[in-house]
Structure 1
């Protein structure tokens, strides 16, 4: 008969799998409680670090529909369940593993498939979401400013052309400024319409 505490543990792990954006499977052999606490702090609020028996993790993964990680569940296993930005948590784990040989990254799970160690490290090498958004915003700002300049140029040119036509007709024909303005309005309306159409066509907690 399965003990109630094991049933609860399986349900908890399955729930963590289902509520995570990603999970990184590690081996923590040789790490002290102080080191595990440091690791948990480095993850911050973006992930929880759960130590669990492999048999329970396998059962929980099956219940949660997580496939392909059974081969990773060998030796002392602890899983970082990431609920925030996967890149940030992967960086924290990778950096901690470099400084503490007792932590070994064995692989992970994200977007419905298992991750190799190399893929976890590649994830850690990516720039964070905040950095990417900042770069995107900067690129868009520059592009919008350039686009605004391109769209403003034809309008200012048309304004200067219209005024030049008014002045020229007033000098040559002696027509009243109001009449000249009306004629020019008709001429420039077609030109403006043509230019406008052209512009429009532009383009964690540690548990044991």
Structure 2
């Protein structure tokens, strides 16, 4: 018979898995409590960093339909559940792991797709969502400006041609 506190823990983890867009599995062996607090602060308000029990996490992941962590849940594990921008959270984890090499990013999942530790590092190398949206908007605006210039070019060419013909007719009428 399952203990009520374990059932509640599995349910809480399952809810975290279902409500987050990204979950990153880490091993925190050798980190102090103060370092873990600093990591939680660096992740921001859109992420929860929770130390988890491996067997309960495995059960919760299966209940949420996630198989990204199979075979990776060993040793002291913690998961960063991210509900906001995945790039910002990945950058925070990468930067923290640079200064604290005891933190090991094992893997994760992004919107249902399994990610390796290397893929999470590549995700951290991306620019933030706002910067990417600004670049897309700038490219769209540049394309619209080029399109407007293309549409205006035949019109201005026609005006210049008509002006040249008018000037030529004036010359011919003055010469005759």
**Could you say what secondary structure the match of 1:72 adopts?**
coil
The RMSD of aligned alpha carbons is 2.0
What CA distance in whole angstroms lies between the structure 2 residues aligned with 1:101 and 1:165? 77
CA distance in 2, matches of 1:143, 1:82: 35
* Count of residues in correspondence between the two structures: 173
Query: Once the two structures are superposed, what CA deviation does each residue of 1:79-109 show, in whole Å capped at 9, x if it has no partner?
Result: 0011111111111101101111221111111
Deviation at 1:170, TM superposition (A): 8.8
Contact 1:29 1:76 in 2 (8 A): yes
Does the CA-based 8 Å contact 1:13-1:60 persist in structure 2? yes
Q: Does 1:135 align with 2:139?
A: no
Scaled by the length of structure 2, the TM-score of the pair is: 0.87
Asked if 1:9 corresponds to 2:41, the answer is no
**How is 1:80-119 mapped onto 2 (pairs within 5 angstroms)?**
80-119=80-119
Runs of 4+ residues over 3 Å off in structure 1: 159-173
Unaligned runs of 5+ in 2: none
Cα shift at 1:133: 1.4
Q: Deviation of residue 50 (structure 1)?
A: 1.0
Partner of 1:180: none
Once the two structures are superposed, residues 48-67 of structure 1 have per-residue CA deviations (whole angstroms, 9 ceiling, x without a partner) of 10111001101100110001
Tell me if structure 2 keeps the 8 A contact 1:67–1:113.
Answer: no
Q: Which runs of 5+ in 1 are unaligned?
A: 174-208
> Residues of 2 paired with 1:119 and 1:171: CA distance?
73
Partner of 1:156: 156
Q: Is the 2:21–2:82 Cα contact (8 Å) retained in structure 1?
A: yes
Post-superposition CA distance 1:166-194 (Å, at most 9, x none)? 77779989xxxxxxxxxxxxxxxxxxxxx
Q: CA deviation at 1:46?
A: 2.5
- CA offset at residue 157 of structure 1? 2.9
